[in-house]
Amino acid sequence: MRLLVLCTLVAAAAAWPNFGMMADSPGGASDVQKQHDVNSALWKVYEDIRDSNLIQLSQSFDPLSGHYDDDGVAAKRLMKELNENRLLEQHHWFSLFNTRQREEALMLYDVLEHSTDWSTFAGNAAFFRVRMNEGEFVYALYAAVIHSELTQHVVLPPLYEVTPHLFTNSEVIQEAYKAKMTQTAAKIESHFTGSKSNPEQRVAYFGEDIGMNTHHVTWHLEFPFWWDDAHENHHIERKGESFFWVHHQLTVRFDAERLSNHMDPVGELHWDDVIHEGFAPHTMYKYGGYFPSRPDNVHFEDVDGVARVRDMLILESRIRDAIAHGYVTGRDGSIISISDSHGIDVLGDVIESSLYSPNPEYYGALHNTAHMMLGRQGDPHGKFDLPPGVLEHFETATRDPAFFRLHKYMDNIFREHKDSLTPYTKDELEFPGVAVESISLKNRLETYFEDFEYSLINAVDDTAEIADVPISTVVKRLAHKDFTAECVINNNNENEVMATVRIFAWPKYDNNHVEFSFNDGRWNAIEMDKFWTKLAPGPNTITRSSKDSSVTVPDVPSFLTLIEKTEEAVSSGSELHLEDYVSGLGLPNRFLLSKGTTEGMKFHLVVFVSDGAKDAAIDGLYENTSFNHYGAHNGKYPDKQPHGYPLDRRVDDERIITGVTNFKGVDVKVYHVETQ
């Protein structure tokens, strides 16, 4: 079936409705048509357009004649840049951390975002698809589809099949080209970077997992540091706090994987120390050569055009000074307190730094600059004119073990702030009348490695005159068997109550089999799930499947599957049912559990139940008991409590939290089963 689709894609497209023309839903087109148009714009994005209607639209559409809610200001600006030949050429690498390239991509994003009907949106996509740099186009289109009101039900194809070079080892890409040139169908085996002589190879399956890479880049698309409320229709609430939390969770999950492989937790990076682990990415740009390597034990050097090492130490000192004083200083000299639950949000904006930072001129952009500093250590002075390193792309950053050292360093700064806050009191933690009586698992917690196959059709150059042959790669990835948890929660109140159930787990022991203190354990806690539920008076048995965790998302269908489903819906006039994949936020479902060990790795699993009516930030939203953990409702986060609550603050006396009836913990084991 897939071979048939590949061979007949161009012919089939000609029979489909005109690109961007089928009116039905708000915005001037049906959801099926929108899905088709986005598929067509991204298919073989480095090649000539294959969809005949898209070709025609790219030649006939005039961006200055479209319908916009900004009077066409964005379109006029981009057209001026295009007509003056100021835009980056095609067949060139793109990096969001390159200021000028980011500006160009965001010019196109603004044009798409300000389009008020689908004809204008689709017309601009077609027009600029053939005139702008491919990387800039992909970034702008992904960001626009995520944020535009016109594309709320469009599912973006997996990035690892749109731009495979950023996710696939170069040796595999070379084999794919060989298969294409010989017109031989191929299924190529992928391996993780490095060798067994490199200890970091033991956890490469985590940082190099394409689902992990996709999670990281998708989060930064949903919560971009360049987001400007002045040009958007809403404010992203708690954006800085979410920046802290998502990277904190990546860091503690990475540490749990290291413990699963008998390694110590990752150490933090220091600007005045050596970078102990080198890295050879074994990946290449579609255009621009190989990603730079970095040898072991390199001392940080100043990076021309980015920053000096001394600058990074100064920025860190200013931020730590703000934490010690309990406030940051705004541009106008105002005092902004960070000595409360909102402080983490301000601090996240400062450290990233996003446009929400109250004083970027003084506090700088520690996170973003650090990514560039670390990414350029292979060629800090531009002597060899190397392209950006893997840390300068959100798609590839987690491949480098130094990414986790960098974020452990930042995580420790965040902890310094969090530990400065007053611990929660018993009164703040209690949910009167509610008690967690028991926690049990209905299945053994078991992980294994499975084969995952994805297409490399879009990785190779080709021509419309020669039919495609199936080319794919197979890579090992961590997964777990589905499991079910059961909680018995007693509601001793006379009436039904709404409750928020928060589930966490942390490794019981360090690598020397020394038990973590409760305070250290709670900081290393992995968020497993969070959901609302109604508690009737008396005992309530709550059953929750791992598949329903609000922390995770399922795999997005392959690009070819999206094309097949869309073609079927267009031909039959039926609806597309892709609701489960509209949000790409969250970790892959299969990553909910850490790898564990063959003999069983012990974790401490805790359940905390809080007052859902008080927690809900949006009236009535808790009636919908499933919400995405990382999601937001029109920019407003649905839970009033801080991320990680109630484990986000230090615990000086664990009896205070373990003594409330709405908190309970049990020890569980995660087993890893070796497969052939």
User: What is the three-state SS of 182-193?
Assistant: CCCCEEEECCCC
Looking at residues 266-285, what average pLDDT do you find?
94
> What is the per-residue pLDDT for 5?
38
Q: pLDDT tens digits, residue range 608-636? A: 999 999 998 877 655 444 444 445 556 67
Looking at residues 274-284, what average pLDDT do you find?
93
Q: pLDDT tens digits, residue range 499-542? A: 999 999 999 999 999 999 999 999 999 999 999 999 999 999 99
DSSP 406-427: HHHHHHHHHHHHHTTSPPPPHH
Q: Is the dihedral of CA 88, 90, 96, 98 positive or negative?
A: negative
Looking at residues 446-464, what average pLDDT do you find?
95
Q: Using 50, 70 and 90 to split pLDDT, how confident is the model at 117?
A: very high
DSSP 177-238: HHHHHTT--EEEEP--SS-TTSGGGGGHHHHT-HHHHHHHHHHHHHS-TT--GGGSSS--TT
Which residues, including other chains, have CB under 8 Å from residue 147's CB and lie 6 or more apart? 113, 232
Q: Dmax of the chain from CA atoms?
A: 74
Looking at residues 261-267, what average pLDDT do you find?
97
Query: Which of 203, 197, 370, 202 is closest to 296 using CA atoms?
Result: 197
> What is the per-residue pLDDT for 12?
39
Whether residue 221 has pLDDT greater than 70: yes
> What is the per-residue pLDDT for 194?
82
Phi/psi at 505 (5° precision): -150, 145
Q: Tokens 């819906």 label which residue?
A: 569
Mean pLDDT of the chain: 92
Whether residue 4 has pLDDT greater than 50: no
CA 400 to chain centre: 16
Q: pLDDT tens digits, residue range 402-412? A: 999 999 999 99
Q: pLDDT tens digits, residue range 42-88? A: 999 999 998 988 999 999 999 999 999 999 999 999 999 999 999 99
Query: Which of 43, 59, 50 is closest to 126 using CA atoms?
Result: 59
CA distance linking residue 535 with residue 442, whole number of Å: 21
Q: pLDDT tens digits, residue range 12-53? A: 333 334 555 444 454 568 999 999 999 999 999 999 998 988
Are the C-beta atoms of 277 and 408 separated by less than 8 Å?
no
Which residues, including other chains, have CB under 8 Å from residue 273's CB and lie 6 or more apart? 300
Are the C-beta atoms of 410 and 367 separated by less than 8 Å?
yes
CA distance linking residue 572 with residue 241, whole number of Å: 45
> What is the per-residue pLDDT for 11?
36
Whether residue 442 has pLDDT greater than 70: yes
The two structure tokens encoding residue 172 = 């595999």
Cα distances from 592 to residues 199, 227, 229, 235, 550, in angstroms, run 24, 29, 34, 30, 10
Q: pLDDT tens digits, residue range 230-246? A: 888 888 999 999 999 99
Domains of the chain, CATH where assigned: 31-154 (1.20.1370.10), 193-420 (1.10.1280.10), 426-459+470-672 (2.60.40.1520)
DSSP 334: -
Looking at residues 435-446, what average pLDDT do you find?
97
Whether residue 480 has pLDDT greater than 60: yes
Query: Which of 602, 522, 588, 505 is closest to 549 using CA atoms?
Result: 588
Whether residue 585 has pLDDT greater than 90: no
Phi/psi at 577 (5° precision): -115, 85
Whether residue 271 has pLDDT greater than 60: yes
Whether residue 672 has pLDDT greater than 70: yes
User: What is the three-state SS of 599-664?
Assistant: CCEEEEEEEEEEEHHHHECCCCHHHCCCCCCCCCECCECCECCCCCCCCCCCCCCHHHHHCCCCEE
Q: Using 50, 70 and 90 to split pLDDT, how confident is the model at 437?
A: very high
User: What is the three-state SS of 552-588?
Assistant: EECCCCCHHHHHHHHHHHHHHCCCCCCHHHCCCCCEE
> What is the per-residue pLDDT for 19?
55
CA distance linking residue 7 with residue 12, whole number of Å: 10
> What is the per-residue pLDDT for 15?
35
Q: pLDDT tens digits, residue range 349-375? A: 999 999 999 999 999 999 999 999 999
Looking at residues 316-326, what average pLDDT do you find?
98
Query: Which of 35, 75, 461, 473 is closest to 287 using CA atoms?
Result: 461
> What is the per-residue pLDDT for 565?
96
Looking at residues 120-141, what average pLDDT do you find?
98
Q: Using 50, 70 and 90 to split pLDDT, how confident is the model at 463?
A: confident
Secondary structure class of 524 (helix, strand, coil): coil
Whether residue 465 has pLDDT greater than 90: no
Whether residue 203 has pLDDT greater than 90: yes
The two structure tokens encoding residue 435 = 């008690």
Cα distances from 100 to residues 86, 94, 103, in angstroms, run 10, 10, 5
Looking at residues 278-289, what average pLDDT do you find?
94
